[in-house]
Structure 1
């Protein structure tokens, strides 16, 4: 069942507070810091395997046994690292969103013409998808289910903060006269978010066009549509 635009996964943005992991995740972070290097490596390997399985099969359709089998361990051994499947996807998503937000914060902090800021955010978004493809796919596909769980309340917080950043850049551009005054910043933000995040379903980085080329094309089309003076030159 399709959700409304306001219920889609968050679109990565600039200067927002980093997502706050659940108390369970923070507890496991402390456990990870105190674990041996070998245990940390095994944990990271399990996270990587689980992320690929979740992306391919869906979070709800993937079992702990399948993750353990793929890792070549017994199911019981997996519980030495995580107390549940939810703990694993929590690790995947909170780490992904933290890295995304950090990238946006850096992009926005450089300031400048709103068109340049928007272009940097678009590039940062595609770069994040390229580096964390499985995590982005899980977030996109399983958002409607995960957002209902109290453990993942930070997804809502992150989405609201992210939307404020993107609409802020668009509104700033309108006030400076570089973006059209007749566009709705919130709707534009939602369209951008879904367009970029949804590209994980069809774009293959090693296919016809590289991720950087996809970002350039998005920026060109976007600015041609919202620039007040009709200047579609890509920053």
Structure 2
């Protein structure tokens, strides 16, 4: 599907049946999937910018250059869109976390790997992280989002187990609370999504490496 740019720099759907639309056919599954993915990307940017609760179906449709009714051909509500955004985020990050843990390295290397994965999500999953920060309490009250708490509990267990293993091995201090430590790490990483921008002085990888230096080595010279 061809796109043009809005004044804000986000892609906006161009009306009319040209290019790929003619090649694939207006009602083809491939084109429908492409349109759906495009709508998800547009909605994600709006959720990140305006907040999920403040974004309306009309806002999403206007950004896509379609009528609100046309949006309902792909999604029954904006909750369905954010559901897709959040479930994709948890699927990706949990798979990446498990891969790091399954490598079976020492606890410091495992925790460092988890930190790098978390920072690596700031760009591709910016909308999901922003929505979780701004709208977590609102969303988790809905039955369809019950998996959010379950998924977060699973993620927390991965981190806490890795930290406690390090304590048992004598790599990490025994006098720190593993669960509190995880939550402090999580929140300091996620809050970076508010100011981190691709193309800045540090990319996500560089930011993660800097964070690991401070976390493991501190800021003292001795």
TM-score, normalised to structure 2's length?
0.83
**How many angstroms apart in 2 are the aligned matches of 1:160 and 1:102?**
15
1:53 alignment counterpart: 46
**CA deviations over 1:110-168 (Å, ceiling 9, x no partner):** 11110000000000111112222222222222112111111100010011111111110
Within the alignment, does 1:124 sit opposite 2:117 as a pair? yes
Residue 163 of structure 1 corresponds to which residue in structure 2? 156
| Partner SS state of residue 123, structure 2 | helix
- Cα separation, 2, equivalents of 1:156 and 1:138: 14
1:107 aligns with 2:93: no
Once the two structures are superposed, residues 168-226 of structure 1 have per-residue CA deviations (whole angstroms, 9 ceiling, x without a partner) of 0000000001100111101100100101111101122321212111101111121225x
Partner of 2:202: 209
Q: Which runs of 5+ in 2 are unaligned?
A: 1-27
> For structure 1, which runs of at least 5 residues remain unmatched after alignment?
1-34
Question: With CA pairs under 8 Å and 6+ residues apart, which has the higher RCO, 1 or 2?
Answer: 1
Match of 1:149 among 142, 156, 168: 142
Question: In structure 2, how many angstroms separate the alpha carbons of the residues matched to 1:217 and 1:87?
Answer: 37
Distance 1:58 1:130 in 2: 17
- Corresponding residue number in structure 1 for 2:74: 81
| Rg (Cα) greater in structure | 2
Partners in 2 of 1:62 and 1:140 — Cα distance?
Answer: 16
CA distance in 2, matches of 1:144, 1:218: 28
Aligned residues: 193
Structure 2 counterpart of 1:172: 165
* 1:221 corresponds to 2:185: no
Which of these residues, 49, 54, 63, is aligned with residue 56 of structure 2?
A: 63
SS of the residue aligned with 1:208? coil
Is residue 136 of structure 1 aligned with residue 129 of structure 2?
Answer: yes
After TM superposition, where is structure 1 displaced by more than 4 Å over at least 4 residues in a row?
none
For the aligned residue pairs, the C-alpha RMSD in angstroms reads 1.6
